[in-house]
Amino acid sequence: MKTKAFAIIILIFFWGTQLNGQETSQEKPLKDFQISLLPFIGTDGSSVTDFRYRFSFNIVAGATGGIEGFEAGGFANITRGDLRGIQLSGFANSVRGDVNGFQGAGFINLVGGDSQSFAGAGFINMFGGSKQGFSGSGFANVTGKNYQGFAAAGFANITGGHHQGFAASGFAGITGGSFQGFSGSGFANVTGGHYSGFSGAGFANVTGGNFQGIAVAGFANVTGNDFQGVAWAGFANRTGETARGAIGSGFVNISRGSFMGLQGAGFANLVRSHSSGVQAAGFANISGSIQGLQASGFINIAGEVKGVQLGVINIADTISGVPIGFVSFVKRGGLRQVELTASDIIHMSVSLRIGTPLFYNIFSFGRRQFADERFNTPGYGIGTSIPLPDRWSVHAELHTSTLQGKWIPDTDQLDQLNEVRLTAGFRPLKSLELFAGPVMYNHLYSDSEENGFAPREIFTSKAFYDDTWGKYKSKFYGGVRGGIRLIIR
C-alpha cells in the first residue's frame, strides 16, 4: 500500500513538471500566498500556475507559476516559472525557469534554466542551464551548461560546459568543456577541454586539451594535447603533442610528442619526439632526441643527444656531449677502436675501446707467463682522449684487471692490478694509431695463503710505495706500455 501511494505521488510530481504554460514568470501577476494539498488542489485551484507568489505552502505537493519569496513543501514543490528566494521540500524541488536564491530538498533539486543559488539535496542536483554558487548533494551534481562556484557530491560532479571554481566528489568529476580551479575526486577527474588549476584523484586525471597547473593521481594522469605544470602519479603520466613542466610517476612517463622540463619515473621515461631538460628513471630513458641530461639505473636510448647520458648502458645515434656509463655506443661519430698492447707487466693484451673521445670504456683481456704458470688478466677501464695538431693525441686512462691462474678462479682471494695510464698517440694512417707512454701500477692482493692461494710477486723492480691493510697488501710501481690501435669507422 505504501509503495502504491509513493508511486502515485511520484507520478503527480512528474506530471506537474511537464505542464506547458505560455506566459513567462515575469508576465504573471504576483500574489501574496497560496496553500495546496496537492498540485491544483488548493486555494487557487487549477489557476495556481498562472500566478507568482511571495509565500507558498504545499502540504504534500504543489505547483505555482513562480516564486518571489519563500516556498515550503512536505514532499515536492513544482515551479513552472522562475524562483527568486527560498524553496524547501522533503523530497524534491522542480523549477522550470531560472533560480536565484536557495534550494533545499531531501532527494532532488531540478532546475530547467540557469541557477544562481545555494542548492542542497540528499541525492542529486540537476541544472539544465548554467549554475553559479554552491551545490551539495549526497550522490551527484549535474549541470548542463557552465558552472561557476563550489560543487560537492558523494559520487560525482558532472558539468556539460565549462567549470570554474571548486569541485569535490567521492568518485568522479566530469567536465565537458574547460575547468579552472580545484577538482578533487576519489576515483577520477575528466575534463574534455582545457584545464587550469589543481586536480587530485585517487585513480586518474584525464584532460582532453591543454593542462596548466598541478595534477596528482593515485594511478595516472592523461593529457590529450598540451601540458604545462606539474603532474604526479602513482603509476603513469601520459602527455600529448607538446608538454612542458615537471612530471613524476612510480612506473612510467609517456609523451606522444615533445617534452620540455623534468621527467622522473620509477621505471621508464618515453618521449616520441624531442626532450629538453632532465630525464631520470630507475630503469630506462628513451627519446627521439634530447637536449639536457638522461640518467637511468640501466639504459638510456636517444637519437641525437646534446648533453649527458648517465647510465649502465648508453645508446645514441649522434652525440654532442658525453655518455657516462659501463658501456656506451654511438652510431655516428663515436669511438670504436681495437688495441693491441704490450707492457713490462702484461706481455700481451687486446682491448676494445668504445664510446666517445671525451669518455670511453675499455674492455680488455691479457695473458702472461709467470714461473711455470700462465695467468689471464680480464679487465675494464675508462678513459678520455684529447686531439692535438698534426695527427697527434693524448690519452689518459684508469684501468683495473684481475690476475687469474685459471679461466674461472676457484678462490675469493684478491689479486688485482690497477693502472693509471698516460699515452701519446700518432696516426700514420686514418685507421691506424701508434701509441706509448708511462704507467703507474698498483698491485693489490691478499697477503695470505688461505684456500691454496699464493700471492704472486709479478714485479721484479722494487715498489716505490707499499702499505698493508689487514690481510691486504698494496704496492705501487712505475712502468711503460705501448702498442697499436685499429680504428673502426
pLDDT band at residue 472 using 50, 70 and 90 as cut-offs: confident
For residue 27, which amino acid is it?
Answer: E
Distance separating alpha carbons of residues 58 and 73, to the nearest angstrom: 4
At 347, the pLDDT band (50, 70, 90 cuts) reads confident
Query: If you average pLDDT over residues 48-55, what whole number do you get?
Result: 96
Q: 340 and 290, same structural domain?
A: no
Q: Which of 333, 350, 366 is the last residue of a domain?
A: 333
Whichever domain contains 394, its CATH number is 2.40.160
Rounded mean pLDDT of 243-248? 92
Q: Check pLDDT > 60 for residue 407.
A: no
Strand, helix or coil for residue 47: helix
Joined together, the cell numbers standing for residue 243 give 608538454
Rounded to whole angstroms, the Cα distance separating 101 from 104 reads 10
Distance (Å, rounded) from C-alpha 327 to C-alpha 365? Answer: 16
Domain of 453? Answer: 335-487
pLDDT the model gives residue 241: 84
pLDDT at 99: 97
Q: Are residues 357 and 467 in the same domain?
A: yes
- Look at residue 250 in the predicted model and tell me its pLDDT: 96
What is the average pLDDT across 85-113?
A: 97
Mean pLDDT rounded to a whole number for the chain: 90
The reply to whether 284 falls in a domain is: yes
**Contact at 8 Å (CB) between 133 and 127?**
no
Instruction: State the average pLDDT over residues 265-286.
Output: 96
How much is the pTM?
0.82
Within 10 angstroms of residue 421's Cβ, the number of other Cβ atoms is 22
Confidence of residue 24 (pLDDT cuts 50, 70, 90): low
410 and 445 belong to one structural domain: yes
- Write the pLDDT tens digit of every residue in 355-391: 999 999 999 999 887 667 778 899 999 999 999 999 9
In a domain, 449, yes or no: yes
For residues 60 and 224, the model is more confident at 60
3-state helix, strand, coil in the chain (%, to 5): 5, 65, 30
Lowest mean pLDDT among 37-46, 96-105, 437-446, 465-474: 465-474
Distance CA 353, CA 373 (A): 29
Give the domain-ending residue among 333, 358, 380: 333
Same domain, 373 and 465: yes
Confidence of residue 11 (pLDDT cuts 50, 70, 90): very low
| Nearest alpha carbon to residue 472 among 432, 414, 390 | 414
DSSP code of 50? Answer: G
pLDDT at position 453: 53
pLDDT in tens, 124-151: 999 999 999 999 999 999 999 999 999 9
Could you tell me which of 62, 5, 54, 12 has the C-alpha nearest to residue 37? Answer: 62
Q: How confident is the model at residue 451 (pLDDT cuts 50, 70, 90)?
A: low
- Least reliable range by pLDDT among 8-12, 133-137, 222-226, 275-279: 8-12
The pLDDT-based confidence of 14 (bands split at 50, 70, 90) is: very low
* b/e code 331-365 from CB counts within 10 Å (16+ = b): eeebbebebebebebbeebebbbbbbbebbbbebe
Q: Of the residues 312, 333, 354, which one is the last residue of a structural domain? A: 333
Task: Average the pLDDT over 74-90 and give the result.
Answer: 97
pLDDT of 452 reads: 53
3-state SS string for 124-164: EEEECCCEEEEEEECCEEEECCCEEEEEEECCEEEECCCEE
Query: Residue 233 is which amino acid?
Result: A
pLDDT at 23 over 50: no
Give the Cα separation of 30 and 11 in Å (integer).
28
CA angle 335, 339, 343 (to 5 degrees): 140
Q: Tell me: pLDDT of 343 over 70.
A: yes
Place of cell 602527455: 239
Residues in the chain: 489
The confidence score (pLDDT) of residue 12 equals: 44
| pLDDT top residue among 351 and 26 | 351
Task: Please check whether residues 342 and 323 belong to one and the same domain.
Answer: no
Q: How confident is the model at residue 21 (pLDDT cuts 50, 70, 90)?
A: very low
Question: Is residue 320 domain-shared with residue 458, that is, in the same domain?
Answer: no
Residues 6 or more apart whose CB falls under 8 angstroms from that of 164 comprise 146, 147, 148, 149, 179, 180, 181
CA separation for the pair 72, 84 (Å, rounded): 13
314: in domain? yes
C-beta separation of 259 from 278 below 8 A? no
Contact 388, 425 (CB under 8 A): no
